[in-house]
Amino acid sequence: MSARLDLIEVFASAQGEGPYVGASTVFVRLGGCDLRCSYCDSPGTWLPAKRWRLETAVGSGEFETFDNPASIEELEAALKRLDFARQRFVSVTGGEPLLQPHAVRALGELVAATPARFLLETHGLAVEALEEVIDCVDVVSMDWKSPRDARYAGAGNEAEFASQHKRFLEIAKANSEVYVKLVVTEETTADEVVGVARAIAEVDPTIPFVLQPVTPFAKVRTSPGPEQLLPLLQRAQEHLADVRLIPQTHRAYGAL
């Protein structure tokens, strides 16, 4: 039986976060997430949707809608309409893509037949699901979550964020390219950033670490200023070889 996917949208744009910012990318956004991050800029992805939308052409900003769940054949046809084989990346995002590992694998196998690279955007906690799909992923973009900013949606589900993140990172590093992003809010402390940097260094001190100032959205009204961000950059690079301060850029070119 063909894989069925809960989609939110498929569109073409440029990468808006991390070390590949600005690279041409087709985004496949899946529905459903088991975290509730206080700064989430896409809360519409927390639950699966009844319908999903497809951008009609690269850069058009116009969309057609279809019923969920979608088949992998429908997804392949959507990708071809956006000329996915000519883009630098196809990114699977969410929500949390690893709640649908069968969808991640099916998409990865489609991308593997093209020159494009397959990028997985993930909250970095679904260790077992990562093990199922890591062989078909080229790049893992891993968010390192703070328990203060992110909570599990499931009642009573206690997560040991740090230990899960570290095991996730070990698997990703052993099998693919990986970088780590940490969203920095006004509540983020130097001790938190140093703790994350040290944990990354224990896996591999050359793993790129991106400090990403939170983008104001919904209840988040302000971003941290340079007086907070630049000292955090200095502290993190005491432990890692490649630390970068990169804000989100996607709103500048119309991506969601």
207 Rama class: left (phi>0) / alpha (psi -120 to 50) / beta:
beta
The angle that helices 226-236 and 190-203 make with each other, rounded to 10 degrees, is 30
**Per-residue pLDDT averaged across 95-114, rounded?**
96
Question: Are 29 and 44 within 8 A, CB to CB?
Answer: no
In the chain, the percentage of residues whose pLDDT exceeds 90 is 81
Q: Check residue 148 and give its pLDDT.
A: 82
User: For the residues 13-36, what does the mean pLDDT come to?
Assistant: 95
Helix (H), strand (E) counts: the chain: 6, 14
The helix/strand/coil state of 101 is helix
For the chain, the helix, strand and coil percentages under 3-state DSSP, each to the nearest 5: 35, 25, 40
pLDDT at res. 218: 65
Kind plus residue range of the DSSP H or E element containing 200:
helix 190-203
Q: The whole model's pTM is what? A: 0.94
Proportion of the chain above pLDDT 70, given as a percent: 95
Q: Which residue has the higher pLDDT, 255 or 194?
A: 194
* Residue of higher predicted confidence among 38 and 117: 117
The confidence band for 222, taking pLDDT boundaries of 50, 70 and 90, is confident
Half-sphere exposure of residue 186, counting CA atoms within 13 Å on the CB side?
Answer: 8
Q: Could you count the other beta carbons within 10 Å of the beta carbon of residue 40? A: 18
Q: CA 15, CA 21: separation in Å to the nearest integer?
A: 5
Residue 23: count of CB within 10 angstroms of its CB: 16
Q: Where are the domains of the chain?
A: 4-253
What is the per-residue pLDDT across 40-96, written as a single tens digit (0 to 9) for each?
Answer: 888 889 999 999 999 999 989 999 999 999 999 999 999 999 999 999 999 999 999
pLDDT of residue 39: 86
Q: What is the sign, positive or negative, of the torsion defined by CA atoms of 84, 207, 125, 39? A: negative
* Residue 38: predicted pLDDT: 85
CATH code, 4-253: 3.20.20.70
Cα–Cα distance for residue pair 233/224, rounded to 1 Å: 13
Phi first, then psi: what are they for 57, rounded to 5°? -160, 160
What is the rounded distance in angstroms from the CA atom of residue 85 to the CA atom of residue 147? Answer: 38
Structure-token match 């920095």, residue found = 184
Residue 124 sits at the vertex; the CA angle it makes with 122 and 125, to the nearest 5 degrees, is 120
Residue 1 reports pLDDT greater than 50: no
